Amino acid sequence: MFNFFKKKDKKEDKITEEKLHAIVDGEAISIESVPDAVFSQKMMGDGFAVKPTDSSIYSPVEGIISNVFPTKHAIGITTKGGLEILVHIGIDTVELDGKPFETTVSEGDTVTPSTVISVTNFNQLKESGKDSTVIVIVTNMDKVEHVDISKLGSVKHSDEIGTVTLK
């Protein structure tokens, strides 16, 4: 009659899939196409990248900001399902000491794919001789069954471009 004392099955609440969204307007490319072996060979994890045509960078997932690097070139996000996502703006941009980046979030902030997390001066980045590719990496692959990137080519920020299936 009443289920007051019945234990809830914890598996019912377990998140099994997370959606990935485009982080910036531009051209989505496979992680294997990123011109840096650390990313293209998936040494840090699996994901995707976008060659940007706009300066506003959005969150690729719903989650909480877990890390804002002091040099502002990278931002960590943790999802409800426990995925740890790294947004890395450009290649070798840590050397620029934060100059072309304006971070718009802080650790602990809740974000969605409609949240701007950074505004980047890509002209300044290119003038410094740096590649502007924006990379999204799932860093805790031990919790991941499969990463499926289903949309490459022209994208607008917040477009759903793939899913991550959790173990």
Q: What share of the chain is helix, strand, coil (3-state, %, to 5)?
A: 15, 40, 45
Q: Which of 21, 73, 88, 157 is catalytic?
A: 88
Question: Bridge-partner residues for 79, per DSSP?
Answer: none
Q: Do residues 87 and 77 make contact, with C-beta atoms less than 8 angstroms apart?
A: yes
- Of 41, 22, 30, 28, nearest to 113 by C-alpha is 22
Which residues share a beta bridge with 141?
Answer: none
**Residue 119: which residues within 8 A CB-CB, separation 6 or more?**
55, 56, 57, 101, 102, 104
Per the annotation, the verdict on 88 as an active-site residue is yes
Active site residues: 88
